[in-house]
Amino acid sequence: MEPFALALDLVTGRLAPHTSRTVRRISEMSGMYADADAHEQLAGTGDPVVYEVLQYDVPFDNGQLVCCTTVIYAGLVGEEYFMTKGHFHEKRSTGEVYLGISGHGYLLMFVDGRTAELEMGPGTLAYVPPYWAHRTLNVGDEPFSFLAVYPGDAGHDYRTIERTGFPRRVIRAASGPIVVSAFGETPRSIG
Ligand code: PAN
Ligand code: ZN
């Protein structure tokens, strides 16, 4: 691997050049949003892009660091904000750093019955410790973008989240975004 420099657009969050681009549409997120009817309707009417990941690939090796940006578009499924699928790292002992670039969002995490929610905006540096599952979502009217840096051999385990779900959801309320339990505990406001 040769040294490289990339251009990160601090307004849009886009990375150039990139060698891979993942485009995630709403139809690829069945069963992830609480309102299945709203999800189905949206998938059938335009199937909007929920988020994109732009990445400059490096080898899948332990000493390498992957740099990529995610742009989550503004939108709702029912009252639930557009979000990423969310994952554990396949190699659970690998952490990750996120840096907010533009827009406003939340980073949800959980591990072994513990949960965390971090608000993110431009300049927020958030740490995902080893072992914690993580998902991000856009609570604003503009795209929410962030940079992620993680070990090349981390890998992504999506299956566990698809099977068990995420213990917290963020939904739109009259007061703004609130965090609620996905498993029926009392909703609580995050102000
Ligand atoms: C991020 C995520 C990215 C998309 O780069 O992969 O935001 O989210 P999903 O992978 O959950 O669809 C990261 O955490 N990489 O490890
Ligand atoms: Zn990750």
**Whole-number pLDDT of residue 183:** 86
Q: What percent of the chain has pLDDT over 90?
A: 94
**Whole-number pLDDT of residue 178:** 96
Which of 156, 157, 162 most suits a substitution to test ligand 1, by most atoms within 8 Å of the C-beta?
156
How far does residue 139's CA lie from ligand 2's centre (Å)? 20
Is the model's pLDDT at 135 over the cut of 60?
Answer: yes
Query: CB of 84 closer than 6 A to ligand 1?
Result: yes
Distance, in Å, from the CA atom of 181 to the CA atom of 140, rounded to the nearest integer, reads 21
Task: Provide the 8-state DSSP code for 81.
Answer: E
Tokens for 59? 């080898």
- Domains of the chain in start order, with CATH, are 7-159 (2.60.120.10)
- List the Cα angle 163/96/105 in 5-degree steps: 75
Return the exposure string of 71-89: e unless at least 16 CB atoms fall within 10 Å of the residue's CB, then b: bbbebebebbbbbbbbbbb
**Whole-number pLDDT of residue 191:** 46
